[in-house]
Amino acid sequence: MPTVFGLIANHASLKLMPVYLAFFFILLLVMISKTEKLCHNK
């Protein structure tokens, strides 16, 4: 993940860091929710 942000920061700006972190945080929450639903059904 840090290397991906490094590539993004080289072409854009470090101001994208909060957006980058928010994206992965939302992705994390979605994956946790899907995992809980999958495991709860079994």
Q: What is the pLDDT of residues 1-42, one digit of tens each?
A: 667 767 777 777 777 778 888 999 999 999 999 999 989 876
pLDDT the model gives residue 5 = 67
**pLDDT given for residue 25 in this prediction:** 96
* Structure token pair of residue 22: 């928010």
Phi, psi of 12, rounded to the nearest 5 degrees: -125, -115
- pLDDT at residue 33 in the model: 95
| Predicted local distance difference test score (pLDDT) of residue 1 | 61
What is the reported pTM?
0.64
